[in-house]
Amino acid sequence: MDRAAWERLSGERVDWQHKGMSPDFWGLTVAELRARRPRLSEFPTPLLTLSRPALDHNIAALASWCADRGFDLAPHGKTTMAPALWQQQLDAGAWAITVANLPQLAVARAFGMPRVMVANAVISPLSLRWIVDELAAHTQDEIYVWADAVRTVQLMHEALEAHAADAGPRPPLRVLVERGGTGGRTGARDLRTALETAAAVADSPYLLLAGVAGYEGALAHTADDQALEVVASYLRDLAQVHQDLLDGGRYPEGITPVITAGGSAYFDVVDEVLRPFADAGARVVLRSGAYVVHDDGFYRGISPLGQHPRTAGPTVRAAMHGWVRVSSQPEPGLAIFDGGKRDLPFDEGLPEVQLLRPRTAGDQVTQLDGIEVTALNDQHGFLRFDADAAAPVRIGDELRLGLSHPCTALDKWVLVPVIDDADAEDPVVVDLLRTWF
């Protein structure tokens, strides 16, 4: 990546546009604020933070897991949309960064990302023209897109053919044929459709058949034996597309075909089904994204390296937390805090109450039990507890929340404080992470 591009972010000035930044910080550059090493207590609530030790650990954990199996890693950048984290993942050995659409690809290219996978079909002529112009200007770079139907390939071919007539020859665009599963998202639902799509790609001079792709995470939502077999069966179907293309001599000479699958929930099954293809010379690419942040909810329970490991390797850790303040106690057994859906993820489970921060100097961090987040409004959260017992919180208390689903967490924040120790009485903010959503 273009390190100078993201290092220039240190000169960005903090101001009223950045939610979660104290007015005391307005006018400072990110570098100046980082040098001050402010404490968490100097930031208003609500706030989302990331843990530096947990981020570092998670990045190293999956990098080593992939290396041990001969896999490549193209982390899904849409989880964080933070080029500084992408750079850290690349430094740990990632082969590429994955994105979901053209705006995300534009962010990656703005920061000099040389190899990007767009895990989606791109059929807009405007988008296709820009992509191949990027490739013409940077001939060593690689951009991959997906296709799951002959019609998709026809639209791509027509758009690129028209552009070539106007602008001259451009490098062919690398295409992965997407195999889908019943009840899933996109992707050819049967082998015949996948192979017909591949043939259409191979027949176009403007496209290059580079491999096969899929996403298993949409087919299951648990880790029981039945769910794991659904995922494994789908991955065998994906592998069959690759094998048929290989046997039929459809791949161009001189390329290493890509087989890519794997979110953050079932990469152990990807290992089980696809590792033989890595051993046979294909490039098996995992696209996990949520692992870098992990969570205290959905992924904690389902990740192969989570609370209940299903594969060998270091377990990953929750790196994100919410910090909120109790703002009202309108009735017994109920307290309201100052964070809501605009601040915290909620689509894969509500936040969980974890810690009470010290109320006065000399107090200790306190573990909270018997208190539950039962609902979120746009800007408020509801805490419920035993109405007949002494209230465990009072107005003004600051709480740490565990959160679920990193993919819908960071999009609510432009500058995310990165802290040194989420368990400390008053953590030190060691960095500010810039996101682009």
* Torsion-angle region of 405 (φ positive above 0: left; ψ -120 to 50: alpha; else: beta): left
Rounded to an integer, what distance in angstroms lies between the CA atom of residue 226 and that of residue 258? Answer: 28
Instruction: Find the Cα–Cα–Cα–Cα dihedral 328, 333, 337, 340, rounded to 10°.
Output: -130
Compute φ and ψ for 13, nearest 5 degrees.
-95, 135
Q: How many other CB atoms sit within 10 Å of the CB of residue 32?
A: 14
Query: For all residues of the chain together, what is the average pLDDT?
Result: 97
pLDDT at 348 > cutoff 90: yes
Per-residue pLDDT, 361: 84
pLDDT tier, 8 (very low <50, low <70, confident <90, very high otherwise): confident
Rounded to an integer, what distance in angstroms lies between the CA atom of residue 158 and that of residue 177? Answer: 18
Question: Is residue 388 exposed (0-12), middle (13-18) or buried (19+ Cβ within 10 Å)?
Answer: exposed
Per-residue pLDDT, 157: 98
Rounded to an integer, what distance in angstroms lies between the CA atom of residue 154 and that of residue 4? Answer: 39
Instruction: Find the Cα–Cα–Cα–Cα dihedral 415, 420, 426, 430, rounded to 10°.
Output: -50
SS3 assignment, position 199: helix
| Residue whose entry in the numeric block shows the structure tokens 């400390």 | 424
pLDDT tier, 286 (very low <50, low <70, confident <90, very high otherwise): very high
Q: What percent of the chain has pLDDT over 70?
A: 100
Per-residue pLDDT, 211: 98
Token digits of residue 216: 């298993």
* Torsion-angle region of 162 (φ positive above 0: left; ψ -120 to 50: alpha; else: beta): alpha
Per-residue pLDDT, 16: 96
Compute φ and ψ for 431, nearest 5 degrees.
-165, 165
* Residue type at position 250: R
Tens of pLDDT, residue by residue over 31-74, are 999 999 999 999 999 999 999 999 999 999 999 999 999 999 99
- Does this model's pTM top 0.75? My answer is yes
pLDDT tier, 1 (very low <50, low <70, confident <90, very high otherwise): confident
pLDDT tier, 3 (very low <50, low <70, confident <90, very high otherwise): confident
What does the chain come to in residues?
437
Cα atoms in the Cβ-side hemisphere of radius 13 Å centred on 384: 6
Average pLDDT over residues 315-331: 98
Q: What percent of the chain has pLDDT over 90?
A: 97
CB 57 within 8 A of CB 314: yes
- For 246-265, b where at least 16 C-beta lie within 10 A, e where not — what string? beeebbeeeeebbbbbbbbb
* Residue type at position 420: D
Instruction: Find the Cα–Cα–Cα–Cα dihedral 120, 90, 86, 113, rounded to 10°.
Output: -60
Rounded to an integer, what distance in angstroms lies between the CA atom of residue 393 and that of residue 300? Answer: 27
Alpha carbon 206 to chain centroid, angstroms = 30
CB 173 within 8 A of CB 132: yes
Q: Please tell me what DSSP assigns to residue 17.
A: T
Per-residue pLDDT, 7: 79
pLDDT tier, 4 (very low <50, low <70, confident <90, very high otherwise): confident
CB 144 within 8 A of CB 116: yes
Handedness of CA 372, 374, 376, 380 (dihedral sign): negative
Percent helix, strand and coil across the chain, each rounded to 5? 35, 20, 40
pLDDT tier, 234 (very low <50, low <70, confident <90, very high otherwise): very high
* Torsion-angle region of 253 (φ positive above 0: left; ψ -120 to 50: alpha; else: beta): beta
Per-residue pLDDT, 6: 74
Token digits of residue 246: 């290989």
For the chain, which domains are there? 3-51+316-434 (2.40.37.20), 120-286 (3.20.20.10)
Beta bridge partners of 284: 259
Nearest-Å Rg of the Cα atoms of the chain is 24
- CA separation (Å) from 27 to 17, 101, 213, 429, 433? 11, 34, 46, 18, 17
